[in-house]
Amino acid sequence: MEDKAAQKIILSGIKPTGQLTIGNLIGAMNNFVKLQHDYDTLYMVADLHALTVPQEPKELRHKTLSIIAQYIAVGLDPEKNDLFIQSHVTGHTELSWILGCLTGLGDLSRMTQFKDKSSKPGANINAGLFTYPVLMASDILLYNADYVPVGEDQKQHVELTRDIAMKFNFRYSDTFTIPEPIIPKTGARIMDLQNPLSKMGKSDSGESGRIALIDDPVMVSKRIRSAVTDSGSEIIYSDSDEKAGIRNLLTIYTNLTDKSVPEIEKMYEGRGYGDFKKDLADIVVEKLRPIKEKHDELMNNKDYLESVLKNGASNAQKKAWKVLSKVYRKVGLVQTGR
Ligand code: AMP
Ligand code: TRP
């Protein structure tokens, strides 16, 4: 890769609200891994974002570390990437305040994720849930990221980030890079195995509809084999709602192997869903096995994880200060060179 690309900055994050799923892997983490070689990459665990829904403190700490371990387990090299926890770097919430003062209530009310979450029966609609996208914009703009690898559901938040950055630049002169999302062509929205018309979520899918990266292999196999399909028998990729189940399984298959969808369709011509699901179950199990093993090993080596986190946060902090102090100066906050 050319030097220029090496200077481009990538930032992304995942919130520790549950176990990472194969949706997170295919929609976001596979790109994290690919991009690490050619860019200046920062990947964080968005623990402050997780607080927008009630969390059990002990569990939150565990899940946060577990995601860092899974980042490394899927292939992110701590030497090549700044791996850190959002709350370890000063600047995310500070910038969020400043950007919040530039963001319209109307813009935040339009956010699909907020509308979905707040319309659920018994939803806890707190101010954090509403201003969540402003904190996400701060995560991205604090490092002047050029690209943000995410799944489909986060596209709207990155678009809002772009709008906020443009507004700031217009009002206070050029400061922020306008970031672009990187969304996979296929697999940007992996669906629930039991309800293939809704997204596979860490916390909002039922247990049998999702597959976590560190699930027990017997369970993984069982869940794939009992995924909802349709009353037909043809393994073909079709956009119809009726074929949503098989379409989702084909998407998982193509993303976890080097086979294209037409190749897979051909391989299973004349064979039934049973054969197809059994093979896919084996593929998923084999893909996840080393991830779980590495994760479990790292979770038993907290000293190592802590050293990765200290190093990641220290690198990220240096980058964050530069941008934050520039922002403070531009908006008119007095600085005394602390
Ligand atoms: P979250 O789990 O909401 O913190 O999401 C972390 C990242 O994974 C974001 O980039 C999401 O867009 C992506 N992601 C989450 N669920 C899925 C899914 N079912 N399919 C594809 N990408 C997903
Ligand atoms: N909101 C993102 C999600 O739920 C997680 C996230 C927080 C994020 N900050 C980010 C993603 C910054 C990309 C960039 O998926």
- Domain harbouring 137, CATH code: 3.40.50.620
The answer to whether residue 195 is domain-embedded is no
- Do 284 and 22 meet the contact criterion of CB atoms below 8 Å apart? yes
d(Cα 171, Cα 102) in Å, to the nearest integer? Answer: 10
Nearest ligand, CA 24? 1
pLDDT at 171 over 60: yes
Domain annotation covers residue 193: no
Written as one letter, the residue type at 310 is K
Cα 226 to Cα 330: distance, rounded to the nearest angstrom: 57
Residues 31 and 163 in one domain: yes
**Residue 64 and residue 34 share a domain:** yes
Establish if 196 belongs to a structural domain. Answer: no
> Residue 86's CB: how many other CB atoms inside 10 A?
23
SS3 193: coil
The alpha carbon of 165 and the centre of ligand 2 are apart by a number of angstroms equal to 16
> Is the pLDDT confidence value at 204 over 80?
no
pLDDT at 27: 98
Region 232-244 average pLDDT: 93
**Which residue is closest in CA terms to ligand 2's atom 6?**
13
Q: How confident is the model at residue 337 (pLDDT cuts 50, 70, 90)?
A: low
Closest residue by Cα to atom 13, ligand 2, is: 12
191: closest CA among 20, 325, 22? 22
Residue 267: CATH number of its domain: 1.10.240.10
Strand-pairing partners, residue 12, are: 43
**Which residue is closest in CA terms to ligand 1's atom 10?**
150
Residues 271 and 319 in one domain: no
pTM: 0.96
Residues 321 and 239 in one domain: no
pLDDT score, position 170? 98
36 C-alpha to ligand 1 centroid (Å): 19
In this structure, the answer to whether residues 113 and 250 fall within a common structural domain is no
Q: Over the stretch 273-328, which tens digit does the pLDDT of each residue have?
A: 999 999 999 999 999 999 999 999 999 999 999 999 999 999 999 999 999 999 99
| 209 ligand 1 Cβ < 6 A | no
Domain assignment present for 198: no
The Cα 253–Cα 280 span in angstroms is 6
What residue type is assigned to position 68 of the chain? I
Percent of the chain residues past pLDDT 70, beyond the cut: 97
Does some domain include residue 20?
yes
Instruction: Report percent pLDDT > 90 for the chain.
Output: 92
Give the burial string for 15-47 (b: 16+ CB within 10 Å, else e). Answer: bbbbbbbbbbbbbbbbbbbebbeebbbbbbbbb
Query: In terms of domains, do 129 and 268 share one?
Result: no
Residues 271 and 168 both lie in one domain: no
Q: Is the CB of 22 under 6 A from ligand 1?
A: no
277 & 319 share domain: no
- Alpha-helical segments (H) within the chain: 3-7, 22-24, 30-35, 47-50, 57-73, 92-100, 105-109, 112-119, 127-141, 155-172, 217-225, 244-256, 261-267, 273-299, 302-331
Is residue 166 one of the residues assigned to a domain? yes
- Asked whether residue 164 falls in the same domain as residue 111, the answer is yes
For the beta carbon of residue 265, count every other beta carbon within 10 angstroms.
15
**How many Cβ atoms are within 10 Å of 302's Cβ, its own excluded?**
11
Residues lining ligand 2, Cβ inside 6 A: 11-15, 46, 49, 136, 139-140, 148, 150, 154
Is the pLDDT reported for residue 215 higher than 50? yes
User: What are the structure tokens assigned to 322, written together?
Assistant: 């530069």
Nearest to 14 by CA among 56, 57, 100, 76: 76
Q: What is the pLDDT of residue 1?
A: 47
At 59, is the pLDDT very low, low, confident or very high (cuts 50, 70, 90)?
A: very high
Note down the domain range covering 163. 4-182+302-331
Phi, psi of 59, rounded to the nearest 5 degrees: -65, -40
Judge whether residue 2 has pLDDT over 60. Answer: no
pLDDT at 214 over 60: yes
What is the Rg, in whole angstroms, of the alpha carbon atoms belonging to the chain? 21
Q: 136, 140, 147, 200: which to mutate for ligand 2, most atoms within 8 A of CB?
A: 136
Out of 10, 33, 153, 254, give the residue to mutate to test ligand 1, the one with the largest number of ligand atoms within 8 Å of its CB. 153
Average pLDDT for 109-133: 94
Distance from residue 151's CA to the centre of ligand 2 (Å): 10
**What total number of domains does the chain contain?**
2
Please say if the pLDDT value at position 220 is more than 80. yes
Mean per-residue pLDDT, 167-180: 98
Q: Write out the catalytic residue numbers.
A: 117, 199, 202
For residues 172-210, b (16+ Cβ closer than 10 Å) or e, as one string? Answer: beebbbebebbbbeebbbbbbbbbbeebbbbebbeebbb
- Ligand 1 atom, smallest distance to 14 CA: 4
Distance CA 297, CA 318 (A): 30
| Spatial distance between the Cα atoms of 135 and 132, rounded to a whole number of angstroms | 5
Identify whether residues 256 and 139 lie together within a single domain: no
Helix, strand, or coil (residue 14): strand
Q: Is residue 102 within 6 Å of ligand 1 at its C-beta?
A: no
pLDDT digits (tens, 9 = 90+) for 15-55: 999 999 999 999 999 999 999 999 999 999 999 999 999 99
Q: Is residue 255 part of a domain?
A: yes
